Amino acid sequence: MERLKFRSFARPGEAYHAGADVMEGGRASRVHRHDFHEVFWVSNGSGVHRLNGKPHEIRRGSLAFIRPEDAHNFQVRGESMWIRNIAFRAGSAAMILESLGDAGSTGIFDRKSLGASTVVSPALLVRLDAAFDRLAVLPRRAVVLHAFLFDLVDRLLSEHPGRNEGQSAPAWLSDAAESLSSPGPLESGLAGFYRRCGRCQEHVARACRKHYGCSPSDLVNRHRLQKAASLLATTEESILGIAMDCGWNNLGHFYNLFKRAYQMPPRQFRQMARRTLR
């Protein structure tokens, strides 16, 4: 059985590795173990996660913590399945476990408590995807990893994983939200989002707060900012061009929103991302 090693993915001095994989329909990954801990979640699609010989159905929002001794692989159902994962060393996992205190009895890192069948709330999934985009481009320091893990564990404990089963967003809202990952909907902004929802603005606002924990404007801007950050990190396009591609005609407004979200202006973000990625 293949055993993956942390040093094969992370560069010297890096505290974690952020990986994203779009698995095609019918594809199955090889069964493997590794010498690191891992948290993964499904951003889109569905499939089967086989953990230590036992199959678990997984779908959008499924999340699991995997330990070094666990053997697992994935099988896709449908056209594709999008998986995001954060790999990190045992020392970071031990620190999180120690900090739990009495809450550690819930087995927050134990597959019996979380496992491959845990489904996070729509609001937490949006937060996870946004956090991943930041983790993937910023310097991979321990403080960045630990901030992510502490926040995730705290929210999982508060949510009581699994209680949102059967309470997912209605199809009209989830379809409109998922469409924000495409260029056209990003350019049409909030007005386009309301049109795709096909409901009055007050109804859309109530549903967004209930299922995503934010306003429609915040949801649209979050997707636009994620796309802008990705373009800044991976292309040579001008900042003005990126702002317009993502639906902003007012460059000053884009700068203010971006700085609020990433704690730095776009140009500095691009420089830091390039130093990290190259």
How do the domains of the chain map onto residue ranges? 2-120+141-159, 171-277
- Residues in contact with 7: Cβ distance below 8 Å, sequence separation at least 6, in sequence order: none
CB 156 within 8 A of CB 104: no
Least confident of 84-98, 107-121, 135-149, 239-253: 107-121
What CATH code is assigned to 171-277? Answer: 1.10.10.60
CATH architecture of the domain with range 2-120+141-159: Sandwich (2.60)
> Residue 68: helix, strand or coil by DSSP?
coil
> Residue 121: helix, strand or coil by DSSP?
coil
Backbone phi, psi, residue 55, to 5°: -80, 140
Does residue 215 have a pLDDT over 50?
Answer: yes
- Which of 278 and 170 is assigned the larger pLDDT? 170
The total of other beta-carbon atoms located within 10 Å of residue 148's CB is 20
Does residue 118 have a pLDDT over 80?
Answer: no
Top-ranked range on mean pLDDT: pick from 15-24, 66-75, 185-194: 66-75
The whole-number pLDDT of residue 166 equals: 35
* Sign of the CA dihedral running 241, 242, 246, 251: negative
